[in-house]
Amino acid sequence: MTRTPRKACGIIWCYTGPHDRADEALEPVRAYGSPLVVGLAAMPFTMLQGAFDPLNPAGLHPASAGGGYVNFLMDEGQDRIRAAYRGNYDRLARIKKRYDPDNVFHVNQNIQPAS
């Protein structure tokens, strides 16, 4: 039997309130529609941050169009960061030079101030 592919969407929920109120807060998520999969679980935020790391192994991109989703980049260097921001990188670097010339905000996928 041949199955017709269908589109799907994944939503990652993060509740940061009191642990004993999580079930109440997330009940509308559980009750909405008819999801294909529901996997609600308590976890440290650092685990959530690394949940998709296996989907982006270091070195791959052979079938990519040259860009990238900046929130999924790891420590891949400035070339990949530049590729993710594409034509906006130079403009963002000029803004960074104006508002953060000392590169104080440099964590994650850093746009270096223009020289």
Domain extent at residue 68: 63-115
Residue 19: both structure tokens together: 């642990």
Q: Flag whether 2 is in a domain.
A: no
Q: Within this chain, do residues 20 and 50 fall inside the same structural domain, yes or no? A: yes
Q: Has residue 110 been placed in a domain?
A: yes
CB distance 42 to 22 below 8 Å:
yes
Res. 73 pLDDT band, cuts 50 70 90: confident
Looking at the domain assignment, is residue 1 inside a domain? no
Residue 61 confidence (pLDDT): 60
- 110 and 80 both lie in a single domain: yes
Q: What is the count of structural domains for the chain?
A: 2
Same domain, yes or no: 49 and 91: no
Q: How far is CA 72 from CA 29, 42, 94, 109, in A?
A: 24, 22, 24, 10
Res. 102 pLDDT band, cuts 50 70 90: very high
Percent of the chain whose predicted confidence (pLDDT) is above 90: 22
The SS3 assignment for 54 reads: helix
For residues 83 and 67, the answer to whether their CB atoms sit within 8 Å is: yes
Stated pTM of the model = 0.47
For the cut 70, the answer to whether the pLDDT of residue 7 exceeds it is yes
